[in-house]
């Protein structure tokens, strides 16, 4: 009985778990790098679009105490007495985080099928949240296109 158990452990027809695991880890690492690269591209594009739109809103309204700054993956929109938005990338989580003067902090994940950022808790998209809050803050319709 001891010889049988020992010989089955050394059976060369069975895959070596160590090499199988290493191959799987390498494949997962490559997939993770690809996903992170895709996330970076999409998140950067989103923040750049938002920076342009927020800047346009400030110009449209001619606000003196309004400032938009985008650097190093962080978008800061200071709207005077209406508060400040901070919207930034979170690469480890592959999310966009927002700190809103209206709704507080929230995290958004990207839905690759729908091509939109959404909140897991509220199911609201980033675009919907910003459309609602910015329109209410300035008393008009200010679309925040996010693609």
Over its length of 147 residues, how does the chain's per-residue pLDDT go in tens digits? Answer: 444 444 444 444 455 555 555 668 888 788 888 989 999 999 999 999 999 999 999 999 998 899 999 999 999 999 999 999 999 999 999 999 999 999 999 999 999 999 999 999 999 999 999 999 999 999 988 888 786
Check residue 2 and give its pLDDT: 46
Exposure string (b/e) for 49-76, b if CB count within 10 Å is 16 or more?
A: ebbebbbebbeeeeeeebebebeeeebb
Residues linked to residue 108 through DSSP beta bridges, in sequence order: 96
- Give the C-alpha separation, 7 to 19, whole Å: 20
- Give the C-alpha separation, 23 to 25, whole Å: 5
Check residue 95 and give its pLDDT: 97
Check residue 21 and give its pLDDT: 56
Check residue 6 and give its pLDDT: 44
Check residue 147 and give its pLDDT: 62
Check residue 22 and give its pLDDT: 61
pTM over 0.85: no
CA-to-CA separations, 95 to 72, 91, 105, 109, 116, in angstroms, rounded: 15, 6, 13, 5, 12
- Give the C-alpha separation, 87 to 97, whole Å: 6
């Amino acid at each position: 009985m001891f010889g049988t158990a020992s010989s089955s452990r050394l059976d060369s027809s069975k895959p070596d778990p160590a090499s199988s695991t290493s191959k799987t880890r390498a494949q997962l690492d490559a997939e993770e790098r690809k996903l992170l690269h895709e996330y970076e591209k999409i998140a950067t594009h989103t923040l750049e679009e938002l920076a342009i739109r927020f800047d346009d809103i400030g110009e449209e309204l001619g606000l003196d105490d309004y400032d938009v700054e985008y650097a190093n993956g962080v978008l800061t929109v200071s709207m005077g007495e209406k508060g400040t938005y901070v919207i930034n990338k979170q690469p480890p989580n592959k999310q966009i985080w927002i700190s809103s003067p209206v709704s507080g902090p929230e995290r958004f994940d990207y839905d690759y099928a729908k091509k939109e950022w959404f909140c897991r808790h509220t199911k609201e998209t980033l675009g919907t949240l910003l459309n609602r809050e910015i329109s209410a803050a300035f008393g008009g319709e200010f679309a925040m296109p996010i693609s």
